[in-house]
Structure 1
């Protein structure tokens, strides 16, 4: 097991749950690798169990823990497969054929991991009011597959929720301004008709199911009338049910674009089951403009609501809810910080990573659409973030799969930090590729480049962003404190020196400076913004 994984905030959360239970504390101490690797599979297993039962979950009832556990262990291989399908470095699988390991996993899942999900992954509206876009995007990833059903060709089916969440993400449903224009651009008649008549053969029942949709697309007048549902004059006046109805019809159109990925579009049926599954998400997903007041605060009914939804983020390595008591436990040794800014930083990181994962995913289905969005931001996506490569003018190739852009890629270990502290700063070449600075520079570039509000939320202060990233993504050992004022200030001073070196190289040797652009261009801009 990597040392970095042993320093995750995850362990503090588990210790809090174990409290005085000696057996659970023993497992946490002696079975770290098994627990750490099990958790992402268990979390996804909870989602798959909800699809299996066709239920909306706002908690995992204690009396049903065994049912969840049995399901997850029985379907472990399938859940593991979809969780790590394209991940390059897969974690070690649990050997469930070994009876002792199987029983140990039963204990750990029932008494540690499901309680962790119950405690830290179910959210009231007030807890995720700033994360709706990120939740939509991440739900696309989490609900792609339904392992409970197989297609005729033996492949795992996509879930009923997948094309709906994909649709919400594709049209950026939360941004009312330009909604009609985005839909018009995403759903071009010639593309839809070409997709409908190419690719895999439709099943007879699918043709019957989509017949009305197909006729709608072919008829210019009817198509324009349908699109008008998303014009501000209509959309603004629709209630939640009316918006869902319009979006459900649009989702049926989306299935044409996703034809080769969806084994049977008839799974959507009349939309009633889909509505039941997603109804608790919908107020923030599609009616955000109606549930906030003039002060941009949740209206009372939603602020006080006890309704909870399952977060699409597993909250294993980034978890402010666990981090705050961890910080309190460290007392005065921990660096001073602003709670609101720390929470905002975590929300920005989640939002940005979810957005980038979705861009990579949509590019698989609609490369021309995403290429057109990348083109005006080519320097950002190609030169700075290096997520895409331009293969010819206006055409781009993904440089990584959606499954390989993970929060864990940016977690910083104590060894990473000590590697910086133990050496005097010399030059950019010696420090740029050191893990600590490389990860910090990369995540800074992502959040500054993709989320416009990042700089203002940090009060245009590079140190504030640096500090909050170290607090969130840095090591969280139980027996001592890493994020002290002295440590973070020393780290920052060396990072600032590296930014200064980069600035000098830009002026002296522009070609050489391109080596460092992906991690230092945007941090340098923020650094200079503060000083101007």
Structure 2
């Protein structure tokens, strides 16, 4: 969602700034919107890098920190922009940052962005979502934002390394700590002798210091009895009876093995040590993913022996442009929405599932780098959807080879002008043949969502019409004082898709559109 101009955020922008006297917001045009969008997104990502720089969880943002944060962002703006968007085709609105632009960026950050983030993006460790899909997406988002540490660059090699917390976080993703019943099975599939041996043989040579640090772990892996006893800690019954601190410690032990898979992008694998610094950087986020009950919403502050308290943390997912709670509140203002019947909790669940599926594929793509062992494991867990249905990868001799790129969440852009194109008549498969058309993106996002998670079709009554409706409501264009789309618009979009489904039946090369209209065709005939 890059540079959206007609989102729920912009519908209420004037309300956010009505008490602000800054001159820069007096005239709101598209150029200003694009600049604010960029600064907001860069700031959001930067706050996680700021935490790495300070090596502490950001449990709040006090006004006295505003200047330090804005200075940090401006000083590192180029790198932060690059890692925020991770797309060479996205150009910054601030290519050469002079003093005037510095002043503008600083003012936007300090006068608006930080205040907005504080009000909308901090969550309590005792107010945790019960939606698995949202929580897993949040874990992936946190892992992604903490993947690299831009604060420490190897200038000689022009290379950035994985952060100190990344091995721990990617380990949580790989074993899926949010599904304790499946953890033991996933550990046994990921951390096999074959996988570890393969990863150990590939990549850079470990230093003598690293080998010495890793030696006890290697010895431990060779002792089958000790290894099996350790894995039993992750068994559901055992897992749910230990506290967050204990869970952290055993995951950290497992993450020592993970460093073998990641070592090409770790400056020194021993940097994670015994986990003290990792804990200090992550403690505020641990209850979000490791709580077995509401009673575990408190966490030891900063250190293993710190005071046990409820804490706040910044939501790993930037919801600026698609916050379902804001959408629901907005929808109640217009009579037209009564015709577009939808349930609030289902909208929340839909957004969570879309974020889950798109983040899952992002994790696949990231972990397929280097030796690719972890990526292959993630693909194997969702083989039916990723390989057999969507054909993103092909299986060759037990390995998964890339076929073509999957659609990304940031491609969604249903601003008014793009939404109008959805309503415009098109020839046969012209729209879905265009990879960048919003019709193509919508169908691919929905296809991915219902194939990554086999439970999704049933949740939405095996109805592609229902999926389309929730997609438009979740990501569609919004204006403050008017409806940007109507019930008739939804009917017209459904008519166009129905026509595509009819044409698909006669199409010879069905494999070319399997990741868009092909999946919906199967869904339609599953009813």
Q: TM exceeds 0.5?
A: yes
Q: CA deviation at 1:223?
A: 3.0
Q: Note the C-alpha offset of 1:169.
A: 0.7
Q: Partners in 2 of 1:181 and 1:148 — Cα distance?
A: 37
Which position in structure 2 is the counterpart of 1:294? none
Q: Which runs of 5+ in 2 are unaligned?
A: 299-308
Q: Is the 8 A contact 2:8 2:478 kept in 1?
A: yes
Give the secondary structure class of the aligned counterpart of 2:454: coil
Is residue 2:47 matched to residue 1:46? Answer: yes
- Residues of 1 paired with 2:27 and 2:325: CA distance? 23
**Structure 1 residues 524, 127: closer, same or farther in 2, change over 3 A?**
farther
- Residue 444 of structure 1 and its aligned partner are, at CA, apart by 1.1
8 Å Cα contact 1:8/1:476 also seen in 2: yes
**SS at the partner of 1:149?**
strand
For residue 136 of structure 1, the aligned residue among 139, 151, 154 is 139
Q: Which string of whole-angstrom CA distances, capped at 9 and with x for unpartnered residues, describes residues 497-527 of structure 1?
A: 322332x32xxx5x33333322123323333
Give the corresponding residue for 2:301: none
8 A Cα contact 2:59 2:313, kept in partner: yes
Alignment of 1:329-344 (within 5 A): 329-330=333-334, 332=336, 335-344=340-349
Aligned partner of 2:161 in structure 1 is: 157
- Partner of residue 518, structure 1: 515
Return the TM-score normalized by structure 2: 0.86
Q: Which residue of 1 aligns with 2:275?
A: 271
Which range moves more in the overlay, 428-437 or 310-319? 428-437
Question: What's the offset of the Cα at 1:63?
Answer: 2.5
Match of 1:457 in 2: 459
8 Å Cα contact 1:174-1:286 kept in structure 2: yes
SS in 2 for 1:129: coil
Tell me what 1:89 maps to.
Answer: 89
Compared CA separation, residues 473 and 268, structure 1 to 2 (3 A): same
Q: 2:119 matched to 1:114?
A: no
Cα contact 1:206–1:265 (8 A) shared by 2 = yes
1:126-525 map, 5 Å: 126=127, 128-130=129-131, 131-151=134-154, 155-193=159-197, 195-196=199-200, 199-232=203-236, 234-287=238-291, 290-291=292-293, 307-330=311-334, 332=336, 335-365=340-370, 367-368=372-373, 370-371=375-376, 374=379, 380-382=385-387, 384-389=389-394, 392-399=396-403, 406-423=408-425, 428-430=428-430, 432-433=432-433, 435-478=437-480, 480-502=482-504, 504-505=505-506, 511-525=508-522
Number of residue pairs aligned between Structure 1 and Structure 2:
508
Secondary structure of the 2:467 match is helix
Question: Aligned in 2, Cα 1:70/1:354: closer, same or farther, shift over 3 Å?
Answer: same
The whole-number CA distance in structure 1 between the counterparts of 2:190 and 2:479 is: 47
CA distance in 2, matches of 1:327, 1:274: 42
Q: CA RMSD in A?
A: 3.1
Alpha carbons 2:162, 2:265 under 8 Å: kept: yes
